[in-house]
Amino acid sequence: MNKTSFLKILEEPFRLFFILGTIFCLIGVLYWPFKVFGWGLFDSYSSAFHSQIQIFGFMLAFIVGFITTAFPKLTQAPCLDAKEFLSLLGIYTVLILSIFIQESQVTYITFILTLLYLVSRLVKRFFLRKRNPPSTFIFLPFAFISAILGGLLCLLGYSQNSYNLISLGQNLIYNAFILFLLLGIGGFLIKSILGWAQPLPESNHENLKKFKTSKKDLKIHFSIALLLFLTFIFPQRDSSLTHLIRAILISFELIWNIKVHKSSISGKLTAKTLQMTLWFLIAGSWLVVFCPDDYYVDLIHFSLIGGFAITTFAVATRVIFSHCGHSSFLNSHYLFFTISITLMTIALLTRVFVFLTPNTYFEHLGYAGLLWTAGLLIWSAKILIRIFPDTFRKVS
């Protein structure tokens, strides 16, 4: 990699982190086929490895890559410098190694450190901004508070052998953290892809001293974020009630702000997919309200896979095509994107409804993993690969 390529990655860190996230997504998904069908490799790993590598390896890499690219651009603040980028990458590397050696406490410590360092870089750029971010970014503080608090609760739970504390902490990380990021960043980006987001005002080329935006929208977003946060903090008092409140709030935000119910006429490649995945998120939120507790883990995957993971790949597709010189694909159909998303969706349905086949429950987890792997490999070969020529080619 030459100096020009490295500078390009500093400007757009997604070019490295999307690749890392895809690799760890593949490893996490293959856990079940290897485990279930007796193919070795993961025999010594518990199911905690699967969930940790998916959240800390896959999702966190895409989050870091996207937010360190998008936040400076949206606020017209400086991109990461070499020291910041390498420090962030170094902490993330230790985090991944801790998962593979199955040191859960080290995993949560390095996860917290990764987030704290990331937040410090974002706060620095917020104060150097020349343009205010969208009002939906009010969800981002709740995302990071949820994740850091969740990590601390998990550490406390491990020290006290408390399953309840670990469960509460993991729910804040695996669910609340990703949800708040989706509503915060997606609340503007997805709305823009669908074709009805208002453009951000042009920069005045001066650092802004105060955050000024629509007070009405900001108050609504803040209220929703606070109430959602409380449903994750106090879930034990009446889980059905907190799930109901959460479903109402999520549905309202997606319908009122993103307008998921409207038919998009933007012609964007990813528009229909994003509308589908947001409906998966709504479905997952409502299904857990009424489902028996025995089915909760299965049905919540409507949100975890459909609402979070497939959304991630749809947004990543748009980022890769728009930043790597392939914008023409965004305004037309692309067969390989359709095939990959279709396979991922079938994998989602296979995973969610696995409870219908109790006698072959784990085998169906393996089948879902293989279907997802097929979709991911096609996506990687036809979409992710387009990062390389633009990033690593020799610049004369």
Average confidence (pLDDT) over 204-230: 79
Is residue 67 within 8 Å of residue 119, measured between CB atoms? no
User: Is pLDDT at 111 greater than 90 in this prediction?
Assistant: yes
Task: Give the whole-number percent of the chain exceeding pLDDT 90.
Answer: 78
pLDDT band at 395, cuts 50/70/90? very low
Query: For residue range 118-162, what is the model confidence (pLDDT) as tens digits?
Result: 999 999 999 999 888 889 999 999 999 999 999 999 999 999 999
User: Is pLDDT at 57 greater than 80 in this prediction?
Assistant: yes
Q: Which of 286, 305, 293, 324 is nearest to 372 (CA)?
A: 305
Side chain identity at 2, as an amino acid letter?
N
Of 386 and 203, more confident: 386
> What is the domain partition of the chain in residue ranges?
1-133, 135-194+214-258, 265-396
Candidate from 50-59, 211-220, 250-259, 289-298 with smallest mean pLDDT = 211-220
Gyration radius (Cα) of the chain, Å: 20
Distance of CA 123 to the CA centre of its chain: 20
User: Is pLDDT at 390 greater than 60 in this prediction?
Assistant: no
Side chain identity at 21, as an amino acid letter?
G
Average confidence (pLDDT) over 113-117: 98
Q: Which helix (H) or strand (E) is 362 found in, with range?
A: helix 361-382
Average confidence (pLDDT) over 241-269: 92
Question: What token pair was written down for 137?
Answer: 């970014």
* pLDDT score of 284: 94
Question: What token pair was written down for 215?
Answer: 């007070």
* pLDDT score of 201: 66
Q: Which of 71, 46, 55, 244 is nearest to 150 (CA)?
A: 55
* pLDDT score of 335: 95
Average pLDDT of the residues of the chain: 91
Instruction: Give CA–CA dist 357/363, Å, rounded.
Output: 9
pLDDT band at 207, cuts 50/70/90? low
pLDDT band at 393, cuts 50/70/90? very low
